[in-house]
Structure 1
Amino acid sequence: GFGGTNAHVVLEEAPAPAQDAAAPEERAWSILPLSARHPDALPELAAGIRGELAGENGPAVALPDLGHTLAHRRQHLPHRLSVVHSSRASLDEALAAVQRGEAHPRVVQDRARDAESRRLVWVF
C-alpha cells in the first residue's frame, strides 16, 4: 500500500469452472476458417486440425473453441479455405478431403485479393 504495507488473504480456493452440458457438439451449421501463406500448406493445416479433433495431443478440442480461435486469434493469410460443418464427423470428413487434395461440397477455397484490386462498394 501507500505506507509500505501490503497484505492479502486467501479465504478459499476458487471454484472449478462448470462444464457447459447444454452445448452439444451437434449444432447448427458453422464455418471453420483456415488460411496459409502458400496453398500447399492448407492440407497440412487440415491434417493438424484433424489430429487436434481426435485428441492426439491431449484432450480433444471443442468445436466452438476451435472455430473461435481460428477466426479471431490467428492471422488471416492470403490463401484461405472455409469448411462448413454441423458436427465433429462432418468437419472431419471435409478436412480429410482437404488433406487428400480432393474437392468437397462444403469446402470453399480461394485467395485473398490484393489491396489494389479491391473496389469501393456502397450498400444502402
Structure 2
Amino acid sequence: MIQALRHERLPRTLHVDTPTTKVDWTEGDVRLLTEPVDWPRTERPRRTGVSAFGVSGTNAHVILEEAPAATEPDDDATADAPSSGATATARTVPVVPWILSARTTDSLRGQARALLDHCAAHPDTDDRAVAHTLATRRSRFEHRAVVLGADRDALLAGLRSLAAGETSPHTVTGAAHAVAARSRSCSRVRVRSVRGWGVSCTRRSRCSRRRSTRCARTWARS
C-alpha cells in the first residue's frame, strides 16, 4: 500500500476472481479490485488500512496516510543560507527524536549524561545520525525517555533536564510495565511500529511536534 500511495495506483486484489456471496456488495461503496485502479492525489489526504491476522490470535492493524507534498524552498530565501548539516536538518526534519532507555531511572539519567558528554566531544555529529543509532542500535529497557528537538540546542536542553531529573517540554518519559503474555505480544508490535516511526522521522518525514510527542508518549509507556 505504501507503493500504491507513491505510484498513485491501487493494485488488483490478489487470488480473488469472484467476490464472495456472503457479503452484500450492494450496500456501501466497498468492492474488490479486479483490475488496477488509479488513485491520484486530491485536496484530501489519501489513507489506507493494513491488517495482519496471526494464527495464535495476535492481530495487528495500521492506518497509513500520505505524507504532505514536499515544498520547494524559496530561491531568494535560501540563496545566502549556509549549506551546513544543521540547516539542512532543521529544514527537512522539524522534530528529531532521541530515544533512550535503561533498567532504572538513575541509569536513564546516566544515559542522558553520557549522551551529553558525547555531544560535547563530537559537536559536528549530525542529529539525525544520533537519532538513527539510538533507534536501531540500542537495547530496550523498562525506563524510557524521548527527547524531541528541532535543533541541537533544544535536544541538549532536553538532555540536561533528563539528566537532572527535571521535567521539560522537550522530554517525554515513561515506564513499560509487565502485562499478560498475549498483551505483551501486542505491545511488542506497537513498540516496533513506534520505533519505525523514530527511524522514519530521522530520515525525511515532516512530523509535527504534536504528532511526534504523541508517538513518543506511546513508545515511552508501551
Q: Judge conservation of contact 1:80–1:110 (CA < 8 Å) in 2.
A: yes
Q: Deviations over 1:29-79 (max 9, x none)?
A: 121110001111111111111111112xx5642211110111011111111
1:105 equivalent in alignment to 2:169: yes
Which letter maps to 2:113?
A: A
* 3-state SS in 1 of match to 2:116: helix
Percent identity, aligned pairs only, is 27
The runs of 5 or more residues in structure 2 that have no matched partner are: 1-82, 188-222
What TM-score results when the alignment is normalised by the length of structure 2? Answer: 0.40
How far is the alpha carbon of 1:22 from its aligned partner?
A: 6.7
Residue 135 of structure 2 corresponds to 71
Residue 50 of structure 1 corresponds to 116
Which 4+ residue blocks in structure 1 deviate beyond 2 angstroms?
21-27, 58-61, 117-121
Distance 2:118 2:101 in 1: 17
Residues 95, 59 of structure 1: alpha-carbon distance in 2 compared, 3 angstrom cutoff: closer
Distance 2:84 2:166 in 1: 35
Q: Deviations over 1:76-111 (max 9, x none)?
A: 111100111111000001111111111111211111
Structure richer in helix, relative to its length: 2
Q: Judge conservation of contact 2:146–2:172 (CA < 8 Å) in 1.
A: yes
Distance 1:82 1:59 in 2: 20
Distance 2:178 2:124 in 1: 36
Q: Judge conservation of contact 2:96–2:127 (CA < 8 Å) in 1.
A: no
1:34 equivalent in alignment to 2:121: no
Residues 106, 79 of structure 1: alpha-carbon distance in 2 compared, 3 angstrom cutoff: same
* 3-state SS in 2 of match to 1:108: strand
Residue 154 of structure 2 corresponds to 90
Distance 2:145 2:99 in 1: 6
The runs of 5 or more residues in structure 1 that have no matched partner are: 1-20
Number of residue pairs matched by the alignment:
99
